[in-house]
Amino acid sequence: MISPRVCVLRAPGTNCDQETAHAFEICGGKPEVLHLNRILENPGRIKDYQILCIPGGFSYGDDIGSGVIFASQLKTALREEIGEFLAGDKLALGICNGFQTLLKAGVLPDGDEGWNQPDSGNQPAKATLTWNENGRYTARWVRLKVTSTNSIFLRGIDEIDLPMAHAEGRIAVRDAAVLTEWEARQQMALAYIPWRKYHNAERVTLLTAQAGGSPGSRQGTSALMEQGNPNGSIADLAGLCDPTGRVLGLMPHPERFLFATQHPNWTRMNLAGDGAGKQIFQNAIDYFA
Amino acid sequence: MLWEVEILSRPEQIDREGQRILGEVRLLGLDSIQTVRAGRSFLLEGRIDEATIQKAMQLLLVDEVVEIARVRKPAEVDANDDSTATGQLFNVLYKPGVTDNTALSTRRALQQAGIAIEEVATCRKYWFDHQAQLKEIQVLAQRVLGNDAIERIVQGPLQMATLSFGHTYQLELKHVPIRELDDQALMKLSKEGQLYLSLAEMQTIQKHFRDLQRDPTDIELETVAQTWSEHCSHKTLGGRIRYTDEHGTRQFGNMLKETIFAATQQLRKEWGKDDWCVSVFKDNAGIVTFEEGENVCIKVETHNHPSAIEPYGGANTGIGGVVRDPLGTGLGAKPVCNTNVFCFAPPDTPHESLPPGVLHPRQVALGVVAGVRDYGNRMGIPTVNGAVFFDERYLGNPLVYCGTVAMIPANRCEKKVSPGELIVALGGRTGRDGIHGATFSSAELTQESETISGGAVQIGNAVIEKMLMDVLLVARDRGLYSAVTDCGAGGFSSAVGEMGEETGAVVWLEKAPLKYAGLTYTEIWISEAQERMVLAVPPENWDEFHALCASEGVEATAIGQFTDDHKLTLTYDGKPVGELSMEFLHDGRPPVIREATYSPRTDGSKATFAPKTDYTDDVHKILSSLNVCSKEWIIRQYDHEVQAGSVVKPLVGVMCDGPSDAAVIRPNLSSKRGLVVSNGMNPHYGDHDPYWMAYAAIDEALRNCVACGADPSKIAILDNFCWGNTERPETLGSLVRAALGCHDAALVYKTPFISGKDSLNNEFSFLDDSGEKQTVAIPSSLLISALGQIADVQNAVTMDLKAAGNVLYLIGETKAEFGGSHYALVNSSQSGSVPRVNPELAPTVLAKTHALISAGLVKSCHDLSEGGLAIAVAEMAFAGELGVDLDLGHADPLVALFSESTTRFVIEVSPENQSKVESVLAGIPYQKLGVVTETGRVEITGQGKKVVSAANEDFKRSWQSPLAWS
């Protein structure tokens, strides 16, 4: 098998590029961390890659709004090249700030179909990622349920624990019809569900797919962990995919769960080896096998 | 043309900022204010029409899904301005020259999109309904909406024609006639010129220029003041001190060298070829070995005075500054985690009790946390460890300690400047921000500080520093430069002065890129504008270096050259403006000679606590005391997992909310080896005896590290002294006594100090109602930061109880030690003797505990600190959602539960491993406490009677509620 080439595209302020590249690498991909300036100098370079990944961080400081400036570059200077990339049999992944960028650029929610329709640049946005309901940057682990069968990245995963760390992770939609459409077209990729309690007695395997495990009992006082949805996102959404399943955006960070020792309860479960987040990168690489 | 784009959230969206302000309104009791609507605006100037503005709004400025916007022209006066919101409008704008990051990004992005914008500014807007009384809005405006130090508040619709400011600068060389001044005039010059030099120092400068038969230029005087400032030269602690205590008098030629530094030297000598220190007390951070080819360094700084005046900017630039320390260590180190410790006055201090010129501690806390959050998170450096300490004496002078740990290749740990190399400024531009930061931080705060020193306050731009860091590390690996240092306090003046100390340097001041025109040559030289580094680049590497920086959008400018004439020569447009010999600059300062005295406390050595039949209530009180209670509200705002190295997080347990003793990270994703980061601090012990406070702080930092799995034979520590005015012999005496404790403890634990920092004059003075000068000095605050290592992160341990049926042991010796304890605190007592480390026992306790952990025999481990055994056990129980059933035996339950004797741990062990564990512990005091249960209750029996009984939920609620801010 030829390792697929992965473009980990960074902008000033991107800060998860190294570990994201590491994730693709240990899964057998050939990642390159590329500064956006290199692509702007030579937009044709995007063609060299099978996978485009925009990692997390604070591109351009997120000063105007998260991902806004990065997105404006994709929308204007790279419109055509991104269009070609999306039209091909290729994959795109946006994690956290990368998700914000893809959504604000209009790569999500509809991928090729949305981007390459006539006058797409002037269509009103269907959705956005905006301030968390608590008004604060929030870093914590969340449990997620895969709620679409479409996404190539999420194949074989039913539920997964991942860390999130963001201030603007609340998905808001223009109107309710957007949700209906997403549901019909299997675009609601990931939803927050209540945290599961791990006690020492149960030896849980987090490393492969689990058959729909039920959330733990709801006693105790940590409301945040129990309610699941950490930011007020509509329909508890944590991630979106395009109708083909080739583009995925998610707020939590799979590249921060490549090793068992990253799980907040690994010492309770005697976990060792890989972390469950690795599967998302492995799926992307395996798609080209 | 100037345009304003006013943006509000859509009505169906939550107006978070408005709600936040309304919350503050309630706290202030401003009853006439019933509603607050918040918005923001962009002010855009350029030759552009409304259609272009609309385009900019659609492309960048407005998120139409959740926001609505309108455009207006602030140049046109319109009394009936139709706003999208109604009511009385208040605008908050930055003062000219204050860094406005959003404006900067917006301008660049719009220009890149081909929109002809020249200037951008941002504005926060607040509308109050018409019932709100102007008087009350003004109180709110002053205390909450904006900060006078950096912002101005404008009532009503904005009316302005242009954003431009600054003017072209014509060279005007200034001399300071110092030769003829008498002593009084010298001191007047020192104070009014914000030089903050002593009379002896002023006289030395005067003599130097008399010998030269000329007057200094202003830039020469400033250069000397910056270099000789306490902040830059640490002249007090490195100076001559005559110290007297109950054991007699001792003379120090260089106090720090002869105590803390000497201990490290002695340890290195003992270790010989096994010495694992690499670079200590000489560079911007201390370096020790980590693994083959890779070393690790750590530095902790303080940013206290700026944080007192503008908490957000102060803390923000505190982080920015300490991150540049490792970047400027050796040839540059890559930061892998941050640690922060704050000291505040209690957040419930009544507003009316605040002295004039003091920000409310809650506002300070909110601002500091936000400042650290916004900088650390943007830099992509996880904030993994910290602490918050509360005491009323931090009211006018909060403390903000910021630390960074960074990795550095073993062959990049040394730097050397050679004549002929270019002096290169890298990163941010120079502005009028931060002028006199170094001298200001060395002075005492007063109620006027806010107005006098407003210019010393800055706001950081983390993304500029991130870009700087990215490009610096690439240039390092390509070997493009031969030395680097950070541009911190004193700006170019300190950085270039330090780098060129052995060679000489000429600086072309007009070459420095400026944020705006109009800076004088002196302002350029001493500005402390953030995000700048200074490098020595060999001329043959300049083209490659410059091209690399340009490719990442980072500005690099040659502003001078290193020479071999041992002089510092400053020019502007080719004309000389200053010339100083490096020898005078670095060695000319007269030694500071200080008296230091310490008298041991004579009162309160006996604990006088009445025995109680039930101590459950005391456990609740200590759990909900400000120093012990959960800091989750703060921790959750910090990204602690970026870089993917997280192994033990700051919060652990079933619901990820129990207090971890330390953080464990894996800096290299392909290696098993980990770093363990912790700290120790207890100013309350210092009120009893600073010697034992220092000992206990070191013991605590080491305990925390060991509890998570660090090997106690390889832990490096840092000292960080924040003290009051050391011109008072008794204040300096308490500091010397703490330093003596540091020295003795370092030798006992065989734990080297590898770097350190001090911040003196942490006092706040004001005139009270009767016109009397009142001074509040902070308690003696010694922070010990520890950097440990763990061979395999898989052996790390967390503090949450793991399984019912397991057995709990207490390791270490418990004595009746209540001085400075939390039991004494919640019972409003000053009595008791301060905990004293047993030097014979302590290292063995640490070593044996580590032996148990690395053998895999420990399921959970927690160190005993504030509140003693009862608090440790309660935390372990609620974090693990399991109960405990413990029997304290015949011991006095009060002592067993709450004494704060040092060097103790509680460990959880599987029943089948009891005999193995007991054989390892043979020879040191230990006690089997009881078992872990399924009950979810803490049940403790002492002398045959139940002394503590509570459900986990109840203890957890007490622990979580005090600082669960919304």
Residues of A in contact with B798 (CB under 8 A): 267-268
Q: Active-site residue B436, yes or no?
A: no
**What pLDDT does residue B292 have?**
95
**What pLDDT does residue A239 have?**
98
Which of B926, B958, B955 shows the shortest CA–CA distance to B938? B955
Cis ω before B683 (30° cut-off from 0): no
Q: What SS3 state is found at B888? A: coil
* Under 8 Å between Cβ of A195 and A141: yes
**What pLDDT does residue B253 have?**
93
Residue A241, H or E segment:
strand A237-241
**What pLDDT does residue B45 have?**
93
Q: What SS3 state is found at B707? A: helix
Contact A125 B105 (CB under 8 A): no
Taking only residues 97 to 116 of chain A, the set having a beta carbon closer than 8 angstroms to any beta carbon of chain B reads: 104
Question: pLDDT tens for residues B237-277?
Answer: 888 999 999 999 999 999 999 999 999 999 999 999 999 99
**What pLDDT does residue B597 have?**
96
* Under 8 Å between Cβ of B817 and B836: yes
B885 is in an annotated binding site: no
Homologous superfamily assigned to B2-155? Phosphoribosylformylglycinamidine synthase subunit PurS (3.30.1280.10)
**What pLDDT does residue B305 have?**
85
Confidence of residue A225 (pLDDT cuts 50, 70, 90): low
Is A57 near chain B, with CB under 8 Å? Answer: yes
Q: Provide the residue ranges of all domains of chain A, joining segments of one domain with +.
A: 5-117+125-202+236-287
* Alpha carbon of B710: minimum distance to chain A alpha carbons (Å): 16
Most confident of A50-64, B11-25, B449-463: A50-64
Q: Which long-range contacts (CB under 8 A, 24 or more apart) does B958-961 make?
A: B958/B620, B958/B621, B958/B623, B958/B624, B958/B629, B959/B623, B959/B624, B959/B628, B959/B629, B959/B630, B959/B874, B959/B875, B959/B878, B960/A221, B960/B629, B960/B630, B960/B632, B960/B657, B961/B624, B961/B629
* Under 8 Å between Cβ of B387 and B341: yes
Whether residue B149 is predicted with pLDDT greater than 70 in this model: the reply is yes
Report which DSSP code applies to A280.
H
Amino acid at B456: A
CA-angle at B400, arms to B399 and B405, nearest 5°: 140
Residue of A nearest to B644 (CA): A256
Burial A116-129 (b: 16+ CB within 10 A, else e): beeeeeeeebbbbb
Q: Active-site residue B175, yes or no?
A: no
Contact B466 A13 (CB under 8 A): yes
**Among partner residues B61, B642, B656, which is closest to A165 by beta-carbon distance?**
B642
Question: pLDDT tens for residues B402-411?
Answer: 999 999 999 9
- The neighbour count for residue B954, using CB atoms within 10 Å, is 18
Whether residue A107 is predicted with pLDDT greater than 80 in this model: the reply is yes
Which of B367, B293, B288 shows the shortest CA–CA distance to B329? B288
Is A194 near chain B, with CB under 8 Å? Answer: no
Mean pLDDT over B930-937 rounds to: 97
**What pLDDT does residue B95 have?**
82
Which of B336, B285, B403 shows the shortest CA–CA distance to B667? B336
Contact A19 B113 (CB under 8 A): no
* Under 8 Å between Cβ of B862 and B875: yes
- For chain A, the residue count is 289
Residue A106, H or E segment:
none
Mean pLDDT over B378-406 rounds to: 96
Contact B105 A137 (CB under 8 A): no
**What pLDDT does residue B613 have?**
95
Question: CA–CA separation, B387 vs B341, rounded Å?
Answer: 5
The residue among B94, B377, B643, B910 with the most chain A CBs within 10 A of its CB, best to mutate, is B377
Residues of A in contact with B380 (CB under 8 A): 15-16, 57
Instruction: State both tokens at B348.
Output: 């419930």
**What pLDDT does residue A223 have?**
57
Whether residue A221 is predicted with pLDDT greater than 70 in this model: the reply is no
Residue of B nearest to A162 (CA): B641
Q: Provide the residue ranges of all domains of chain B, joining segments of one domain with +.
A: 2-155, 275-414+640-795, 415-589, 632-638+797-965
**Among partner residues B551, B643, B797, which is closest to A267 by beta-carbon distance?**
B797
**What pLDDT does residue A212 have?**
31
- Positive or negative torsion for Cα B195, B197, B199, B205: negative
Question: pLDDT tens for residues B635-664?
Answer: 999 999 999 999 999 999 999 999 999 999
* Alpha carbon of A56: minimum distance to chain B alpha carbons (Å): 9
The values of phi and psi at residue B446, to 5°, are -130, 175
Question: CA–CA separation, A286 vs A276, rounded Å?
Answer: 16
Report which DSSP code applies to A13.
T
**What pLDDT does residue A114 have?**
92
Mean pLDDT over A67-75 rounds to: 95
Contact A267 B648 (CB under 8 A): yes
B63 is in an annotated binding site: no
Instruction: State both tokens at B120.
Output: 């951008």
Contact B463 A58 (CB under 8 A): yes
Report which DSSP code applies to B912.
G
Question: CA–CA separation, B111 vs B122, rounded Å?
Answer: 16
**What pLDDT does residue B84 have?**
58
Whether residue B124 is predicted with pLDDT greater than 50 in this model: the reply is yes
**What pLDDT does residue B162 have?**
85
B301 is in an annotated binding site: yes
Residue of A nearest to B41 (CA): A64
Confidence of residue B144 (pLDDT cuts 50, 70, 90): confident
Given 3.90.650.10, 3.40.50.300, 3.40.50.970, 3.10.110.10, which CATH number is that of B415-589? 3.90.650.10
Whether residue A216 is predicted with pLDDT greater than 50 in this model: the reply is no
* Alpha carbon of A224: minimum distance to chain B alpha carbons (Å): 9
More confident residue, B442 or B826: B826
Amino acid at B194: Q
Residue B690, H or E segment:
helix B690-707
Contact B953 A163 (CB under 8 A): no
Confidence of residue B440 (pLDDT cuts 50, 70, 90): low
Whether residue B330 is predicted with pLDDT greater than 70 in this model: the reply is yes
Confidence of residue B784 (pLDDT cuts 50, 70, 90): very high
Question: CA–CA separation, A54 vs A103, rounded Å?
Answer: 12
Question: pLDDT tens for residues B359-370?
Answer: 899 999 999 999
Residues of B in contact with A267 (CB under 8 A): 648, 652, 796-798, 800, 802, 860
The burial class, CB within 10 Å (0-12 / 13-18 / 19+), for A235 is: middle
Confidence of residue B475 (pLDDT cuts 50, 70, 90): very high
* Alpha carbon of B408: minimum distance to chain A alpha carbons (Å): 17
Confidence of residue B443 (pLDDT cuts 50, 70, 90): low
The values of phi and psi at residue B789, to 5°, are -135, 150
**What pLDDT does residue B603 have?**
64
Question: pLDDT tens for residues B702-729?
Answer: 999 999 999 999 999 999 999 999 999 9
Whether residue B221 is predicted with pLDDT greater than 70 in this model: the reply is yes
Mean pLDDT over B739-764 rounds to: 96
Q: What whole-number percentage of chain A has pLDDT above 90?
A: 81
* Under 8 Å between Cβ of B704 and B662: yes
- Per CATH, B275-414+640-795 and B415-589 having the same topology is answered no
Residue B911, H or E segment:
none
**What pLDDT does residue A9 have?**
98
Mean pLDDT over B938-943 rounds to: 97
**What pLDDT does residue A208 have?**
37
**What pLDDT does residue B171 have?**
87
* Alpha carbon of B615: minimum distance to chain A alpha carbons (Å): 23
Instruction: State both tokens at B391.
Output: 């005491």
Is pTM beyond 0.90? Reply is: yes
* Alpha carbon of B450: minimum distance to chain A alpha carbons (Å): 27
Q: What is the DSSP string of B723-786?
A: -S-TTSHHHHHHHHHHHHHHHHHHHHHT--EEEEEEE---EEEEE-TTS-EEEEEPPPEEEEEE
Q: What SS3 state is found at A7? A: strand
Mean pLDDT over B751-776 rounds to: 91
Contact A65 B467 (CB under 8 A): no
Whether residue A204 is predicted with pLDDT greater than 80 in this model: the reply is no
CATH 3.40.430.10 is held by the domain B275-414+640-795: no
Given 3.90.470.20, 3.40.50.1110, 3.40.630.30, 3.90.650.10, which CATH number is that of B632-638+797-965? 3.90.650.10
Whether residue B512 is predicted with pLDDT greater than 80 in this model: the reply is yes
Whose structure tokens read 């700087």? Answer: B468
Confidence of residue B82 (pLDDT cuts 50, 70, 90): low
* Under 8 Å between Cβ of B298 and B718: yes
- For chain B, the residue count is 966
Residues of A in contact with B800 (CB under 8 A): 267-268
Class of domain A5-117+125-202+236-287: alpha beta
Q: What is the DSSP string of B638-674?
A: S---TTS-EEE-SEETTTT-EE-SSEEE-SSTT---E
Is A267 near chain B, with CB under 8 Å? Answer: yes
**Among partner residues A57, A136, A259, which is closest to B380 by beta-carbon distance?**
A57
